[in-house]
Structure formats: C-alpha cells, structure tokens
C-alpha cells in the first residue's frame, strides 16, 4: 500500500472509531466502510495501536476503540503512526555528473521536498481528528 494511501485509510479508520464512540468497531466492519480487505485494516490498526492512538478489546464483543479523545489526536499523529520514512523520491539511478543539470538537480530537489514536507507537517500537526469528524458530519447532512 502506498504511503499516501496508508495515511488516507488510517484517517478513515480513526474517523470511524471516533464516530463509533464507546462501541468497539471490528476490522471487518471498518473494512466495509473503507471498501478494502480486513487484513489491510488490521495492519493499520496495529500501527495505530503501537502509536497509542487505538486500543483493542478481545472477545465476542471485541473490536477497536480510540485510545484517547479525537480532540487529542492530530492528523500528524496518524501520519507518523502509519507512514514509513522513505525519504525524498529522487532518481532511481544517479544523474549524470558531467551534465550541469544532473550534477545539481538532487540537492535542489531535496531542499524543495524538505520545505514541502515541513509545510505538510505544519498543517497535519494543527488539524485535529475531531475537526475531520465534524466535517464528515457536515458533509453527511448537507
């Protein structure tokens, strides 16, 4: 699963759990909402659990719950829980060092990508899961 997809599905999972309140949600039920395989959901739930964002209840009435209120979970918390740091996406092969563009492109791209990532983290770090849930409710009503 791609980096962007893991994040989107993890936010979807967290929103489902936030809207479920005190009712545990099963991976099968969440998978139905996401329209994916429950195995995908279980992997992401495991990552969210390791980050302290989700807790699981075992047994016939088991499932997953948020480990803390949605007002205390940022989208950056979720992103950090499920995204591996793959570094900037650069050339698969080193560019030609004899070419002026090939010699200079990677350091330039790294600086641009670093600035873009800092901006992304700033937005995700100030966006709460509770805000996402409020917007979902508004979309559902309007």
pLDDT band at 85 (very low <50, low <70, confident <90, very high): confident
| Res. 59: pLDDT tops 90 | no
Q: Do the Cβ atoms of 10 and 81 come closer than 8 Å?
A: yes
- In the chain, where does DSSP find H-type helix? 3-20, 27-34, 38-50, 75-82, 100-125, 129-141
pLDDT in tens, 14-49: 999 999 999 999 999 999 999 999 999 999 999 999
CB neighbour burial string for 28-54, b if at least 16 within 10 angstroms, e if fewer? ebbbeebebebebbbbbbebbeebebb
pLDDT in tens, 94-139: 899 999 999 999 999 999 999 999 999 999 999 999 999 999 999 9
Tokens of 130: 């509770």
What sign does the dihedral 51-57-63-69 (CA atoms) show?
negative
Structurally, the chain folds into a number of domains equal to: 1
Q: The pTM is what?
A: 0.88
- Residue bearing tokens 């570094």: 87
pLDDT mean across residues, the chain: 93
- What range defines the domain where residue 9 resides? 3-141
CATH number for the domain harbouring residue 115: 1.10.10.10
**pLDDT (0 to 100) of residue 2:** 61
Backbone φ and ψ for 63, nearest 5 degrees, come out as: 155, -160
């Amino acid at each position: 699963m791609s980096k962007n997809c893991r994040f989107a599905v993890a936010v979807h999972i967290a929103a489902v759990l936030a809207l479920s309140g005190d009712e545990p949600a099963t991976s099968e039920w969440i998978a139905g909402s996401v329209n994916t395989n429950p195995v995908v959901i279980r992997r992401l739930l495991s990552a969210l659990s390791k980050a302290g964002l989700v807790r699981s209840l075992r047994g016939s009435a088991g499932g997953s719950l948020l480990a803390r209120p949605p007002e205390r979970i940022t989208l950056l918390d979720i992103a950090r829980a499920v995204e591996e740091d793959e570094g900037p996406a650069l050339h698969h092969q080193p560019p030609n060092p004899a070419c002026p563009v090939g010699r200079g492109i990677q350091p330039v791209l790294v600086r641009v990508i670093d600035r873009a990532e800092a901006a992304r983290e700033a937005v995700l770090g100030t966006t709460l899961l509770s805000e996402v849930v409020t917007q979902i409710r508004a979309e559902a009503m309007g």
